[in-house]
Amino acid sequence: MTTAFRLPKGGRIDRTKPIVVRFNGREVPAFQGDTAASALLANGIHFVGRSFKYHRPRGIMSHGSEEPNALLDVDRGGNRREPNNRATVVEAFDGLALKSQNHWPSLTFDVGEINDRLGAIFVAGFYYKTFMWPPKFWTSVYEPIIRRAAGLGQAPTAPDPDRYAQRHAHAEVLVVGAGPAGIAAALVASEDPNKRVILCDEQAEPGGALLHDVTSEIDGVPTSAWVKAAIETLDARENVTILPRTTAFGYFNHNHVALAERITDHLRVPLTGLPRERLWQVRAGRVILATGAHERPLVFADNDRPGIMLAESLRCFVNRYAVLPGRQIVIATTGASAYRAAIDLKAAGASVTVVDLRLEGDCGTELVAAVHAGVEVLTNHTVIGSHGRQRVTGLIVAKLDGNGAVGAPRVLACDCAGMSGGWTPAVHLFSQSRGKLRFDSGLDAFVPGASVQAETSAGSCRGVYDLAATIADGAKAAGGSRAVAASPTYTSFQPARIMPAPPGQKPVKAFVDFQNDVTAKDIKLAVAEGFTSIEHVKRYTTTGMATDQGKTSNMNALGLLAGQLATEIPAVGTTTFRLPYTPVTFGTFAGPNRGDLFDPARVTPIHDWAVANGAKFEDVGLWKRAWYFPARDETMHQAVARETKAVRTSAGIFDASTLGKIEVTGADAAEFMNRIYTNAWTKLEVGRCRYGLMLKEDGYVFDDGVAARLSPTLFHVTTTTGGAPRVLAHMEDFLQTEWPDLKVFLTSITEQWAVIAVQGRRAREMIAPLIEDIALDDAAFPHMAVRTGHIAGVPCRLFRVSFTGELGFEINVPADYGQAVWEAVYESGRRFDVTPYGTEAMHVLRAEKGYIIVGQETDGTVTPDDLGLSGLVGKAKRDFVGKRSLVRPDVVATGRKQLVGLRTGDLSLILDEGAQIVADPNQTVPMKMIGHVTSSYMSANIGRSIALALVVDGRRRMNERLHVTTPNGFAQATVVEPVFLDPEGVRLHA
Amino acid sequence: MLENRSIMRREGILDQVAMPAEPSSVALRTLPPEARFVLRLGAGDATRNGSIAGLSLALPINRFGADASRLATRLGPDEWLLIGPDADAETMHADAARALAGTHHALVDISHRNVGMELSGRAAAVILNAGCPLDLGDRQFPPGSATRTLLGKAEVVLFRLADVPDRLGVAVPHYRIECWRSFARYVHGYLAGAAAEYAAVRN
Amino acid sequence: MRFSLLSLVRNAFSNHQNWGRQWRQPEPKKTYDAIIVGAGGHGLATAFYLASEHGLTNIAVIEKGWLGGGNTGRNTTIIRSNYLYDESAALYDHALKLWEGLSQALNYNVMYSARGVLMLAHNHHDVMSFKRHIYANRLNGVDNEWLSREQVKDFCPPLNISPDIRYPVVGGALQRRGGVARHDAVAWGYARAADALGVDIIQNCEVTGFKRDASGAIAGVETTRGPIATKKVGVVAAGHTSVVMARAGLRMPLESFPLQALVSEPVKPVFPCVVMSNTIHAYISQSDKGELVIGAGTDQYVSYSQQGGLHVTTHTLDAICELVPEFRRMRMLRNWGGIVDVTPDRSPILSKTPIAGLYVNCGWGTGGFKATPGSGHAFAHTIAHDTPHAVNAPFTLDRFRTGRLIDEAAAAAVAH
Amino acid sequence: MLLIECPHCGPRAEIEFRCGGEAHIARPADPSALDDNAWAEFLFYRSSPKGVHAERWNHAHGCQRWFNALRDTMSDRILATYPAGAARPNITTIEAAR
Ligand SMILES: Cc1cc2nc3c(=O)[nH]c(=O)nc-3n(C[C@H](O)[C@H](O)[C@H](O)COP(=O)(O)OP(=O)(O)OC[C@H]3O[C@@H](n4cnc5c(N)ncnc54)[C@H](O)[C@@H]3O)c2cc1C
Ligand SMILES: NC(=O)c1ccc[n+]([C@@H]2O[C@H](COP(=O)([O-])OP(=O)(O)OC[C@H]3O[C@@H](n4cnc5c(N)ncnc54)[C@H](O)[C@@H]3O)[C@@H](O)[C@H]2O)c1
Ligand SMILES: Cc1cc2nc3c(=O)[nH]c(=O)nc-3n(C[C@H](O)[C@H](O)[C@H](O)COP(=O)(O)O)c2cc1C
Ligand SMILES: [Zn+2]
C-alpha cells in the first residue's frame, strides 16, 4: 500500500520518521506528525465509520475537535483502548491501532444499513409513539433491541494502566487558544513580568489556523515564521506557561477554569512516571478567550457521504499534513473563505471547481484570485445532492435563475467535495462563563455580548475574521495594541439555512446533525408536532446532543427552526453551552484519588501492632479500626466470643484512640458545657468525669461521650469516633456566632492522645506495676474519676471509666508513645491472660450492659427520653442546645419508640440488626410496624443472643411477646429491660 | 496543660515509610519529633504580651516568625502554632504559661497530634499544587508564609520556609507540611505520588 | 391521533406531514377553575389527573420557560420505592405502581425500564441500614432484597467487588421493580394527555404574584402575560418554590441548591442496572441511548445558577472510577445542573398552606422524579377536594411545627 | 468553585470553607418563650432568595473563623464579607446586578 495521496513536499509532518498505523487491521503508512485522519486520507481512505441511527457510511468531515463523523476505536497498546476518538485529533504513532465502529459484520457490509432504508419510520421521536403494545414486550423485546442498537463504540473493558494527575494553578491572565489572537494576547499580557500568563491550546502545537495557512504573511514573513518567533519570545519569558494538547473545557464561577492536558496519548511508549492526562484547575485574574471559529457545513440532500468535507479542512489537510484529500474536488460554498481552500488545493495539483451560491457581483477579489489560479468557479449555483455510497462520486448542482428558482440539475463528478456555509464563532466557554450572547446578523452568528466575569473574547471567536484584525484584537484584549500588516482574509459570505432545492424533490436526508443523524426534515417534523422551543427541538430530535455537541450543526439547526417558525434566529435563541468543551476522560477528573489515595485511611498509633497481631479491620468513617483478633482459623464469632469472655473473666485491652477528644479551656468552660450538653456540668468536681449527651437544635441526639474536669477551667471532652469533626464544628459554631462573649477556647486533641482501654477485673492489677504517681485504689480513684500522672514513664491522663461494665481504665498517652505503652501494658497483663479485643467485642460488651451507641441505637430521630436517658436532661437548666425542641407536640406525644431489650425464644437466634418488629405477625400487608432491632449479638457471657430495639411505647411493654422479622419469616422475642448483665453495676467496682 | 516529658523514644507514624529515591528536582523528607503547642489568645492580649517563650506573637495572620530552633505561626486572629525542638517542650510550655498567667488563653500540647514533613526543590510548588488549592506564587506565598489549607482530602498546615540551595547550588523553594498524625501516611503518599513525575523526567 | 406502530407506519407513507401538535399553544384565558404553576412532570401530572379523575378541565398549567425544562428535564431518572418509613413507602410505591402502566395510560412511551436499582453497602452501618429498609419494605409490600457480595457481582458484572479497595462492597439492596424512565417523554406524555383533555399549557409565562380576595383567599395570579383569575392555585415549582411562595408572602422550610449530573459518550450496553452508593457518593446507570448517566452531589450554598462546582463532579467521578475502574477511559460528554428544593427532613411537602386556595407540592429535593405520577395523582386529589389524599396526608407543612418529621435522610442518608 | 474572601486570610478556594446557611437568624435569647410556630420558623424556615443572600461561612480549613457573606444567588458573585455578628451591609440588588 502506498500513501498515494501524500504530497511530495510540504506540511508539518516529520518525513524523517515514517510510521505505520493500523486501520481495521490493515497497515496504513504515515509520518510522525500525522493525525489518524491525515494518515487515513494520505492512503485514500475516507470511509471510516457508520452513523448512529441509520448506519450510513461516513468519512472524515473536519480537521479538528469538532469532528462529528470520524469516530474511531483507538488502541494504544497495553490495554490502552477506548472508543469514540475523533480521528482528527488522535496523533499517530507507530503501531497505533484504529478501528471503525457501529457496524456488523463489517464496515463495508453492515446489516444495520437497513435502518437507512427504514428511515421513513425512524424519524425523530418515533420510539415515543410505539413499542407500547403488548406492555410486556417492552422489557423483554423492544428495549433490549433499542439498547443494542444504541451507543457507538465499545466501552473499555480492561483495567486502565494509566495514571492521571491534577494541579491547581493561578494566573493573572489565562489565554485559551493559541491562534493568532491568543498568541498576540499572550505576548502583550506577558510583557509585565509580574503577570503570570498561561497560554493553552488543545492542539499539539500552537498556531491555530495559521498552522495550515501557508500563503499568508504577517509583517512580511510567512505565518509559520511569525508563530515561531512569537512562541520563542513567550518561551523565553519566565512568567509564561505554554500548554499544548490542553483543552480548556469548563468555565466556572469566579474565573475558575478547568483544563485537560493530554500528556502521553501521542507517545508510543509513555515515559514511566508520566501521567496520561492532567486536570488543571486555573484560577485566573482575567481570562482571554481566543478559541477561534468553526466552519459550518451546508445542508443539502446526502451531504454526509464519505469524501464530503469542510472546505477549510481540505485546506488544512493539504497544507498542514501534505495530503491531497482527492484529485477531483468540488467545493460548494456560500462564502469567500472557501476560495482559499480551492486555490491551495489547486496549487497542490487537484482539479478544483467552486460552486458558489452567491451572485458573481457579490463575490470579491477571491473570485479573481481563484480563476487566476485555474479554479473553475460556478457562481449563483446551488448544490442539491450527491452521488456515491461509500465515497462521494459527484455533487448534483444546479444554477439558480434570477428569481432564485432552481434550474436543471447536473452532476459534477468528483472524488472529494468541500462545503462551506460560513463560520460560527466558538463562544462555548464565554457562554459557560454566563456571559450573554448577542446575535450579529452581519456575521449571521452569535457573538459574545456583555461579560459576567473578568473575561475578554478576542479574534474569530467573537467574529473578527481578518488575520491582521485578529492579531490586533488579541493584543487589545490583553490591554495593549499591536498593528501588523497581513495578507488579506476572504471573509464575505451569504448565509443559507438549507441549500435551495427544486420543489417537490423526493424526501431526502439532508443532515443537520451528522452524528445523531438528524435531518432537516426531523426539525420540520418536530415543529409540526408542537416542539417549537429550541430546547424541545434539541431533545425531540437529539440535534446537538452527540459527542460533538453540535459544534458544526447547531447554527444550521437554529436557522432551520427559525425558518420553520417564520421568525429570526435571535428570537429562537440557543441551547445552553455546557461543559466539557470536548469530552474529557473520567480518569482526568478522578486524578490520583484512587486506591490508597481515594480517601485517607486514618490509622491509630497502635495500628501497626494490630496488623502484626492479625487483626481484621473495619472502616469507621475514615478510620481503620481493629475489628477482631482471630486466633489462627477462628471465625469472627469464635474470636468475639473469646474476646468478650476474657474481658468479663480477667482482662481485655482495646485501642480506643479514635475517640474524638476536645479540650475546652477557659473561665466559662463549665457554662459552655452546660449550654452544649443536656446535662449539668457546673458542679462537676475537678478530677471527676461525667457522661454527657448532646443534641442538635432539633432535639435529637447528636453525640455522646465522657468528659472530665481537669481543672476549674479545663475539660477534656470525648466524642464518638465518627462524630469528632462535626462535634467540634458544632461547638465552634455556637461559641463563635452565638456566644462570642464566653471565655472559652476549643482545641482538638483527638490525635494528641493514644487511648488504651484496659477492662476487666484484673485491670487495676495490670496497670499498677507501671504507675507510680497515681493511687489506684477504689477510694482514692473511684469510678468516673480522672488523674494525671505517668505510666511506664510516659505522661498520661488516666480515666477510670468503663464502656464494658467492668472495672476499667482508659489510659491516654501522647500518641508517639501509644504503641510502646500498649506493649508495656500488654506485657504486664500476660499473667492475667490479657486479651486484645476489637470493636465487635466492644459492641457486644456494651450491649450486654445496655449502653447505647450513637448512630446505632440512634438515627437522628431519637430523643434522650426515647433512649430512657431523660435523667440526663437538665430540667432545671434554663436552656441548652435542643431543649426547646423537646417540648414540641410530636416529641412529647405518646407512641414514640423507646429503647428496650429483646430476648428471643430461640437462645441461639441472632436477630438481624435492622429487623422490624410487629405485634401481630398474621396481619395483612401493609403491616403495622412498631419498632426495629438496633443491636443484636450472641453473648458468650450470658450464653444466649441479646438484642436492643426501639419499640413503640416499649417501656410499657415489658415482658410482652413481639414478632421480629427474619430472612424467611418472623421470630418471637420478649421485651425486657435493656440491661442484660449486672444491672446493679457491681462489676464496675471490682 | 503539659504533662512531664517521658524518657521513651517517640515513635513517629512515618518512621516505617520508605523514602522515595531522591530525585534532584524535589526532596521529600519526614521531620523528627518536635514540641508543638496550640496557643489561643485574644488578639489584644497577644499585642500586650508581645513575645512568648522567646517567640514574637506580633505577626500578621498566616505569617510565621522563627529563630534558629523555634517557630511561631499565626494561623488566625487568636490562634498561634508554636513549634520547637522536642527537648525544649517543657521550657517552652513553662515560659508561655508563666507569661500568660491571669490572661484568658489556651495553651495545648499537640506535639504528638501533628507530624511534620519537608518538601524542597524546583518543582516543590507544583507538587503541592497537585492537591493544594493555594496560590503558591512567590508574591502570594513568599517565605515566611504559613496557613492551614488542604492537600487532597487532608487538612495540612503549610509553611514556606527560606529557600534552600539544591544540588546544583540554585536556591529553590522549601516547604514544611504539618498534618494530623493519622493523615500523615496519606499526605506523604500524596506528595510522593505527585513527585513521581518529576523524579522520572523533569530534572 | 393515537400513537401506535400502525399510525407511525401510516404516517411514514404520508411523509409524516399529518402528525398533529402534541399540545396546543393556547393564549391564557381570563379565568380558570384551577391553575398549576410549573409545567414540570409533577405539575403536568397534577393537571392530567385533575382533568382525568376529577373532571376539572377548565384549568391551566403555567410555565415560565418551556415545559419539562426544570428538574424533570435534567435528572438521572432513578425510580424506586424502597423507602424506610411507612409514609414514604406508601407515597413512592403509589407512584411506582402508576409507572408500571404509564406508557399505556398516556399513550406515550415513557420507556419505564424496570432494570433494578441496586444500592451498595460498604460497611457495617450500611448493612444494618439496608436490612432495616428491606424488612420494612417487606412488611409494606414493597420489593427489596439483600444481595451478597457475589450476588451483587452477578447482577452487575462491571462492579469492582475486590476486598482490597478503600471501601469494599460488602453486599447490596436490590429493588427489582426499580429502574429508569425517559425523563423528557414523561413531561411530554403528560402534557399531550392533559392537553387532549382540554388543559391549557401556557409556556413562557411566569407567575409573578398572587391576588387575594377580601377573606385573604386566592383570587388569581399575576403573570408576565397578564392577570388570570382563579380560586385554586397549586404551586409545583420545584427549585423555585421559595421564590414563588415569597410572592404570596409565605416563607418556606426550604433551601434551593444546585445539583449536578453528567453523561458519558454513548457506548454499547455495558451497565445493566442502576447502581447507587451513598457511602462513596456514586449514582450510575446507562441510558437506552448508550450514555452512562451519573448523578453528582449538591453544592453547599443556595444558588439558582443551574451550574455547580467542579469539585462536586470530581468527587463523584472518583467514586465511579473506584467502583468500575475500567471507566477511567470513558469520557464525560456533558455536565449540567438543576436547582433542587430541599426540606429539613428531606421529604416532600404536598399540602394546603395557610392561604385558602393555595396548595404547594415541593421539597422533592434530589429525588422527586420517581414520584412524578404518584405526586401528581395525590396532589390533584388534594386540590380537587381541598383535603389530602391518604398517601400525602402526612406530608404537611405543619409537621415542621409539630416535629412529626419524616426523616428519611436521618434514618439512612439515602438520596435520589 | 467559589473564590471566597476570608476576612482574615484573603481570597481562598471554596473547598476550604463550610457554608452555614442563611445568616442573621439569631438564636432566640429565651427559646422556651417561643411558641411552636415561632420555634419552627427559627429552626426550619429559610428565605432562599433569588438575588442577594446573606449567608454564614466558616473558613474550616483555614483560620476556622465564622463570618458572613452577601452573595447574589443568580450570578454567585460575592458582594461583601463581614464579621459574624455585624449588621448586614446595605447593598441592594440593583448594585449587585452591576
Ligand atoms: C441533577 C439531578 C438529578 C436528579 N436525579 C433524580 C433521580 O435520579 N431520581 C429522582 O427521583 N429524582 C431525581 N432528581 C429530582 C427530580 O428531578 C425532581 O424532584 C423532579 O423532577 C421535580 O419535578 P417537578 O415537576 O416538581 O419540578 P420541575 O421539573 O423543576 O418543574 C418545575 C417547573 O416550575 C417552573 N416554574 C418555576 N417558577 C415558576 C413561575 N414563577 N411561574 C411559572 N413557572 C415556574 C419551572 O420553570 C419548572 O419548569 C434529580 C434532580 C436533579 C437536578
Ligand atoms: N476567512 C474567514 O472567514 C475566517 C473565519 C474564521 C477564522 N479565519 C482565520 O482563522 C484565524 C483566526 O484566528 P484566531 O486566533 O481567532 O483563531 P484560531 O482558530 O487560529 O485559533 C484558535 C485556537 O484555539 C484553540 N482552541 C479552541 N477552543 C479551545 C479550547 N476550549 N481549549 C484549548 N484550545 C482551544 C484551537 O485549537 C485553535 O488552535 C485567522 O487567521 C482568521 O483569518 C478566517
Ligand atoms: C437522562 C439524561 C440523559 C442525557 N443524555 C444526553 C446526551 O446524550 N447528550 C447530551 O448532549 N445531553 C444529554 N443530556 C443533557 C441535556 O442535554 C441537558 O444538559 C439537560 O437536559 C439540562 O439542560 P441544559 O443543559 O440545557 O440546562 C441528558 C440529560 C438527561 C437528564
Ligand atoms: Zn480564614
- pLDDT at A574 (0 to 100): 95
Q: What is the pLDDT of residue D94?
A: 47
Give chain D's mean pLDDT. Answer: 93
In chain A, residues with a C-beta closer than 8 Å to the C-beta of D76 are 253-254
Residue B82: what pLDDT?
97
Residues 6 or more apart whose CB falls under 8 angstroms from that of C52 comprise C193, C197
In this prediction, residue B49 carries a pLDDT of 78
Classify the complex by whether its ipTM is higher than 0.95, answering yes or no.
yes
Q: What is the mean pLDDT of chain B?
A: 90
Neighbours of A743 (CB within 10 A): 15
| Average pLDDT over every residue of C365-370 | 96
Neighbours of D10 (CB within 10 A): 14
Q: Which candidate, A155, A189, A161, A153, places its Cα nearest to that of A174?
A: A189
| Among A251, A290, A166, A21, CA closest to A585 | A166
Q: Which amino acid is at C105?
A: A
C346 lines ligand 1 (CB under 6 A): no
The alpha carbon of A214 and the centre of ligand 1 are apart by a number of angstroms equal to 53
Instruction: Give the A:D interface size as CB pairs under 8 Å.
Output: 57
Q: For residue C416, what pLDDT band results from cuts at 50, 70 and 90?
A: very low
Q: What is the pLDDT of residues A821-832, one digit of tens each?
A: 999 999 999 999
Burial class (CB in 10 A: 0-12, 13-18, 19+), C84: buried
pLDDT score for B20: 55
Closest ligand 3 atom number to CA of residue A538:
17
User: Over D31-50, what HEC string results?
Assistant: HHHCCHHHHHHHHHCECCCC
**Closest by Cβ to A884, choosing from D32, D58, D76:** D32
Check pocket membership of C182 for ligand 3, CB cut-off 6 A: no
Give the model confidence (pLDDT) of A543-584 as tens digits. 999 999 999 999 999 999 999 999 999 999 999 999 999 999
Whether A875 contacts chain D with CB within 8 A: no
Give the pLDDT score at B30. 93
Portion of chain C with pLDDT greater than 70, in percent: 98
pLDDT band at A1 (very low <50, low <70, confident <90, very high): very low
Task: Tell me which amino acid residue C391 is.
Answer: V
Q: Which ligand is nearest to the CA of C185?
A: 3
Give dist(CA A451, CA A456) in Å, integer.
7
| CB atoms closer than 10 angstroms to residue A778 | 14
Buried b / exposed e over B120-157, threshold 16 CB at 10 Å, is bbbbbbbbbbbbbbbbbeeeebeebbbbbbbbbbbbbb
Average pLDDT over residues A21-43: 97
As its CATH architecture, domain A297-421 has: 3-Layer(bba) Sandwich (3.50)
Measure C335 CA to ligand 3 centroid, in angstroms.
8
What is the Cα D58 distance to its own chain's centre? Answer: 10
Give contacts of B150 with chain D, Cβ < 8 Å: 15-16, 61
% of chain C at pLDDT higher than 90:
93
pLDDT band at A2 (very low <50, low <70, confident <90, very high): low
The answer, yes or no, to whether residue C121 has pLDDT greater than 90, is yes
Q: C206 with C64: CB under 8 angstroms? A: yes
Q: How far apart are the C-alpha atoms of C364 and C386, rounded to whole Å?
A: 21
Mean pLDDT of D69-81: 95
| Cβ–Cβ under 8 Å, residues C193 and C108 | yes
Chain B residues inside the 8 Å CB shell of A755: none
The mean pLDDT value for A849-856 works out to 96
Helix (H, G, I), strand (E, B) or coil at A296: coil
Strands A97-99 and A14-23: parallel
Report whether A49 contacts A102 (CB < 8 A): yes
Domains of chain B: 21-202 (3.30.1360.120)
Is the Cβ pair B113, A597 closer than 8 Å?
Answer: no
- Does the pLDDT at position A467 exceed 80? yes
Domain boundaries, chain A: 14-130, 297-421, 883-989
Report the alpha-carbon distance of residue A639 to residue A839 in Å, rounded.
Answer: 12
Residue D10 lies in a domain: yes
pLDDT tens column, A902-929: 999 999 999 999 999 999 999 999 999 9
Q: Which three cell numbers stand for residue C413?
A: 442518608
CATH architecture of A14-130: Roll (3.10)
- Taking 50 as the threshold, does the pLDDT of residue B1 lie above it? no
Domain count, chain D: 1
pLDDT of residue C389: 97
pLDDT digits (tens, 9 = 90+) for A325-361: 999 999 999 999 999 999 999 999 999 999 999 999 9
Of C253, C301, C311, which has the smallest distance from its Cβ to D15's Cβ?
A: C311
Which residue lies with its CA nearest to atom 7 of ligand 3?
A: A545
Partner-chain contact A932 C321, CB within 8 Å: no
- Nearest residue of B to residue A715 by CA position? B1
Residue C18 pLDDT level (bands cut at 50, 70, 90): confident
Q: D86 lies in a domain?
A: yes
D11 found inside a domain: yes
Residue C270: closest C-alpha in chain A: A155
Question: Which of D1, D4, D9 to mutate against chain B (most B CBs within 10 Å)?
Answer: D9
Q: How far apart are CA A162 and CA A180, in angstroms?
A: 34
Asked, for residue D85, whether it belongs to a domain, the answer is: yes
Question: How close C241 comes to chain D (CA, Å)?
Answer: 9
At residue B201, the pLDDT reads 42
The phi, psi pair for A836, rounded to 5°, reads -70, 135
CATH number at residue D79: 3.30.2270.10
Please indicate, yes or no, if residue D17 is contained in any of the structural domains: yes
Sheet architecture: strand order including B114-120: B27-30, B114-120, B171-180, B154-165, B146-151
Cα end-to-end span (Å), chain C? 36
pLDDT at B24: 61
pLDDT at residue C415 greater than cutoff 70: no
User: Cell numbers at residue A950, please?
Assistant: 426501639
Give, for ligand 2, the residue of A465, A471, A484, A551 to mutate: max count of ligand atoms closer than 8 Å to Cβ: A465
Q: Report yes or no: A69 and A61 within 8 Å, Cβ to Cβ.
A: yes
User: With 70 as the cut, is the pLDDT of residue B5 above it?
Assistant: no
> According to the model, what pLDDT value does residue C414 have?
43
pLDDT value of residue B198: 84
Q: Is the CB of A545 under 6 A from ligand 3?
A: yes
Report the Cα C3 to chain-centroid distance in Å: 25
Question: How many Cα atoms within 13 Å fall on the side-chain side of residue D75?
Answer: 20
Expressed as residue numbers, the domain containing D83 is: 3-25+38-97
Contacts of C167 in chain A (CB under 8 A): 598-599, 619
Grid cell listed for A874:
437538665
Between vectors from CA A922 to CA A921 and to CA A928, what angle results, nearest 5°? Answer: 60
Quickly state the pLDDT bin for B23 (edges 50, 70, 90).
low
Average pLDDT of the residues of chain A: 96
The CA distance from A54 to the nearest CA of chain D, in Å, is 41
Which of C130, C168, C174 lies closest to C151 in space, CA to CA? C174
In whole angstroms, what is the distance from residue A37 CA to residue A944 CA?
73
| Spatial CB neighbours of C233, under 8 Å, sequence gap ≥ 6 | C34, C35, C36, C37, C210, C218, C221, C357, C358, C359
The whole-angstrom separation of Cα A342 and Cα A265 is 33
SS3 content of chain A, % helix, strand, coil (to 5): 25, 30, 45
Count of pairs with CB atoms under 8 A, one residue in B, one in D: 38
Distance CA A747, CA D93 (A): 40
Tell me if the bond preceding A926 is cis, omega within 30° of 0. Answer: yes
Q: Which strand (E) or helix (H) includes residue C13?
A: helix C5-13
Question: Among A139-148, A564-573, C23-32, where is mean pLDDT lowest?
Answer: A139-148
Cell of A818: 501509644
Asked, as a colleague might, if the bond just before A134 is cis with ω within 30 of 0, I would say yes
Q: Give the domain A883-989 fold.
A: Elongation Factor Tu (Ef-tu); domain 3 (2.40.30)
- Left (φ > 0), alpha (ψ -120 to 50) or beta: where does A321 sit? alpha
Find residues 303-342 of chain C whose CB sits inside 8 Å of chain D: 303-305, 309-311, 341
